[in-house]
Amino acid sequence: MAARHQFVAAGFEGASVRSIAAEAGVDPSLVIHYFGSKDRLLGAVMAWPVDLDEIAEQVVAPGPDGVGERLVRFFLAQWDDPSKRHPLTVIVRNAVSHEEAARLLAEFVRRELVGQIVPLVGEATAELRGSLVASALVGVAMTRYVVRLEPLASAPADVVVAAMAQTIQRFLTGDLTSV
């Protein structure tokens, strides 16, 4: 709870492992030992159920070709996993109803997603590309899993992948300036 309080009060940049450890009354090295990094600690505070290393390995590492398709497949697999659907839904619900949760989610997505895609696309456009990808994936999550808009809600994952992969690929590696 010290971590949540510090993140909410000071934001991700403002909060430090030192300040969080001080508020919790423990040594900063203990925080790092258990959580690994400030990013991981924020993920734990948000009850983030997706392993970021898996995104790096399965989606990003094979390179830019086909990254759109791999990311859509990975994303759907997370939401289609019964043990992850509920925590992911809670994160979306909190972000929509609480401004501070929205701010933490935005900061987390921005840092994590942008950090992962910089090797693929370079620094210059990574932030805009990251937020466009997030927008497309949040849209699928909302309509397919939360609002359950048909026929998207019941469509097989392969249909959604075929429909979405080009868009995600273009958001990541394509030209974004020509209508």
**Residues near its own copies, by CB under 8 A:** 69, 92-93, 95-97, 102-103, 105-106, 109-110, 127-128, 131-132, 134-140, 142-144, 146-153, 155, 159, 161-167, 170-171, 176-179
The least CB distance from residue 172 to its own copies, in Å, is: 12
Q: Closer to its own copies at the Cβ: 23 or 69?
A: 69
Phi then psi for residue 139, to 5 deg, are -60, -45
The least CB distance from residue 178 to its own copies, in Å, is: 7
**Paired tokens of 71:** 């990311």
The least CB distance from residue 29 to its own copies, in Å, is: 33
Q: Closer to its own copies at the Cβ: 17 or 136?
A: 136
The whole-angstrom separation of Cα 115 and Cα 12 is 15
Q: Closer to its own copies at the Cβ: 3 or 113?
A: 113
The least CB distance from residue 116 to its own copies, in Å, is: 15
Q: Closer to its own copies at the Cβ: 39 or 127?
A: 127
Pair 136, 163: CB distance under 8 Å: no
The whole-angstrom separation of Cα 144 and Cα 154 is 8
Nearest to 73 by CA among 12, 159, 175: 159
What is the DSSP secondary-structure string of 114-149? HHHHHHHH-STTHHHHHHHHHHHHHHHIIIIIIS--
The least CB distance from residue 155 to its own copies, in Å, is: 7
Q: Closer to its own copies at the Cβ: 20 or 121?
A: 121
Nearest to 108 by CA among 43, 32, 14, 16: 43
Neighbouring residues of 150: CB distance < 8 A, sequence distance ≥ 6: none
